[in-house]
Amino acid sequence: MLTPLTFQFSAYVTKETLLCMSLSVKAKLPQIKEENNVLVLKKSNFNKALTEIKYLLVDFYMRLSGPSQSLAEEFAEAAGQLKKEIPNVRFGKVDVSDQKDLKKEFNIQEFPTVKFFNPSKVFTAGEASAFITWVKRRLGPSTVHINSTDQTEAIIEAEELAVIGFFKVIQWERAVEIFYETARDVPELPFGVTATEEVFASYGIRKDTAVVFKKVGMVKPFVFQTSVKIFDVPVENHILLFTPKNSETFNKTYENYESAAVEFRGKIMFILVDTNETRNGRVFEYFRITEVDVPAVRILNLTSDARYKMPADEVTVENLRSFCQSYLAGKAKQHVSSEEIPEDWDKNPVKVLVGKNFNQVAFNKTKNVFVMFYAPWSHECRKLLPIWDELAEEYENRKDIIIAKVDFTANDIQLFMLDRYPFFRLFPAGSDNQVVVYAGEHTLEAFAEFLNEQSKPKAEATGKVKDSMLCALRMSPVQFKVALLLNASVTESNLAVGGWDATTTYLSRALRRLVLPILKPRLP
């Protein structure tokens, strides 16, 4: 069976996109039913189609799927137009509601999915230009050989992103071969390679390095396509302006924000969050931003997860400059949202923690503190609260154990262990900021078994206490922050995303880890 190229489509695919993805080839296919110029493919005739048509565009759809229905009309219109212009190209469709064998064979998970047969190399394209570039790079040179600084700048300025490989020796180097192979698989980005000393000197490069250059406007509103770009560049300081774009003062506020962004390029990313956009709700929740707070300015450090609030209410260039300078100098005061400590917080078996008393209680070296992080609006959390009360009653007389809970939606807890509500963490006695991640069942018996094991004297314990760094690695905040920073955009210009020594395996991983996520994941 031939291996297809896979394209994921939304309801907004146009016939122009479909037309551009087709190639001119000779095709011969009698005796297959057509509907609106689209071949109706089934298990019984699919192999015949693949055998007789070298290039075939196939829409795997489901009748009751809204996106499938939206694509069908565009798909048929494109097929009809292409049939007139390039009659040798064919379009086909498979209704996976009936053709379950084909659905399984080609691992169709989303509807609609359009697969392009052949060539055999798997490729996911978002635009026709990317597909054309991909083909050209496999037939000819995958990168541009750069001989001057002017040529380098021309490549960088031509696109939003560009990848330049600085290698002192280009021929017969395994690292360079990997760079070329990466270029073949990433058609969305221009790739260049140079061994010219002048270019090395112009960009301050001293050793073999691959650099991603980014060129973006000063401030852009959140858009989904750039959400991953935000997190993959190594600027750990993000400043966010929360304001409605339809407010009377928006233009002036935005002008001030953009002016400040120029001054801190390369040091702080400036991000604009439209508070009228409902899809940004998770961002508001994370920063505890309410309607009465806007316009509001916050700084987020991606490494420590620390948040900072601009002291001044008015968004002026002077206030923004002062806030950013204070933060970069280490003088800004960290902003921690916290409810007030309830008067009876420790009167019941389950102790009530808030931001103001969390560290004092959780990191008490004489106690094993088992904490439930919950959201009061969560049905799952509400269902578990009575079980948590039972657990606390069971251990109420144990002086070395505290059962506690914290409303994580109302209190900032600075931990690198974010998870879906509810989640549970044990802060063991005698440890120095150590944390144990609970990953067991949400039952009274499972909680008790875990607590008994972890509260044994260290000489007896068979469970391993993971320190905070290991927990950070296992429960990285990346997923949560990517969800948080949905639709983000950045303000950096000509920013080096990464530099790596010319070692083969590491360079390959680094390129694929840092270059590909900037676009969207494409390779395993």
pLDDT, tens digit, 9 for 90 and up, residues 385-434: 999 999 999 999 999 999 999 998 788 776 655 566 789 999 998 876 78
Residue 67 buriedness (CB in 10 A; 0-12 / 13-18 / 19+): middle
Residue 323 pLDDT grade (very low, low, confident, very high; cuts 50, 70, 90)? very high
Position 20 pLDDT exceeds 70: no
pTM of the model: 0.39
Average pLDDT for residues 116-144, to the nearest whole number?
53
| Contact present, 284 and 290 (Cβ < 8 Å) | yes
Answer yes or no: CATH 3.40.30.10 is held by domain 141-215+494-519: yes
The pLDDT tens digits for 225-259 are 344 444 444 467 889 999 988 899 999 999 999 89
Beta-carbon contacts of residue 378 (< 8 Å; ≥ 6 apart): 421, 422
Which stretch of 235-249, 255-269, 460-474, 479-493 has the lowest confidence by average pLDDT?
479-493
> How confident is the prediction for the chain on average, in pLDDT?
73
Secondary structure (DSSP) of 157-225: HHSSEEEEEE-S--TT-HHHHHHHHHHHH-TTS-EEEE--HHHHHHTT--SSEEEEEEB--S--B--GG
Q: Inform me whether the pLDDT recorded for 474 exceeds 50.
A: no
pLDDT of residue 419: 64
Could you tell me which residues come within 8 angstroms of residue 385 by beta carbon, excluding any fewer than 6 positions away? 372, 374, 405
pLDDT for position 94: 94
> Each residue of 351-360: pLDDT tens digit?
999 988 998 9
Percentage of residues in the chain with pLDDT exceeding 90? 24
Please state the rounded mean pLDDT for residues 309-315: 90
Q: Beta strands 56-61 and 113-117: pairing type?
A: antiparallel
d(CA 394, CA 171): 70
The alpha carbon torsion through 473, 477, 478, 484 (nearest 10 deg) reads: 180
CATH number listed for the domain at residues 5-127: 3.40.30.10
Contact status, residue 221 vs residue 178, Cβ threshold 8 Å: no
Share of the chain above pLDDT 70, in %: 68
Superfamily (CATH H level) for 224-335+480-484: Glutaredoxin (3.40.30.10)
pLDDT at residue 86 in the model: 63
Question: Inter-axis angle of helices 250-263 and 317-328, to 10 degrees?
Answer: 40
- At residue 187, does pLDDT exceed 80? no
Question: Is pLDDT above 70 for 340?
Answer: yes
For 266: left if phi > 0, alpha if psi spans -120 to 50, otherwise beta; the answer is left
Q: Bridge-partner residues for 27, per DSSP?
A: 53
pLDDT score recorded for residue 338: 79
Query: Per-residue pLDDT tens for 168-179?
Result: 877 656 777 788
Q: Distance between alpha carbon 171 and the CA centroid of its chain, in Å? A: 35
Is the separation of the CB atoms in 116 and 7 below 8 Å?
Answer: yes
Q: Tell me whether residue 333 is exposed, middle or buried, using C-beta atoms within 10 angstroms of its C-beta: 0 to 12, 13 to 18, 19 or more.
A: exposed
pLDDT of residue 143: 83
Q: In whole angstroms, what is the distance from residue 317 CA to residue 306 CA?
A: 23
The secondary element (H helix, E strand) that includes residue 368 is strand 368-374
Of residues 166 and 487, more confidently modeled: 166
Return the CATH number of the domain spanning residue range 350-474: 3.40.30.10
- Domain locations along the chain: 5-127, 141-215+494-519, 224-335+480-484, 350-474
**Residue at 391: amino acid letter:** L
**Lowest mean pLDDT across 135-149, 207-221, 295-309, 492-506:** 492-506
Residue 144 has pLDDT above 50, yes or no: yes
- Judged against a pLDDT cut of 60, whether residue 122 lies above it is answered with no
Dihedral sign, Cα of residue 16, residue 17, residue 23, residue 26: negative
> What pLDDT score does 95 carry?
94
Q: What is the enclosing helix (H) or strand (E) of 73?
A: helix 66-85
Could you tell me the pLDDT band of residue 7, with boundaries at 50, 70 and 90? very low
Distance between alpha carbon 425 and the CA centroid of its chain, in Å?
25
Across the range 430-455, mean pLDDT stands at 88
Least-confidence region, from 378-387, 399-408, 491-500: 491-500
Q: Which of 238, 235, 192, 186 is nearest to 211 (CA)?
A: 192
Asked if the domains 5-127 and 141-215+494-519 are classified in one and the same CATH topology, the answer is yes
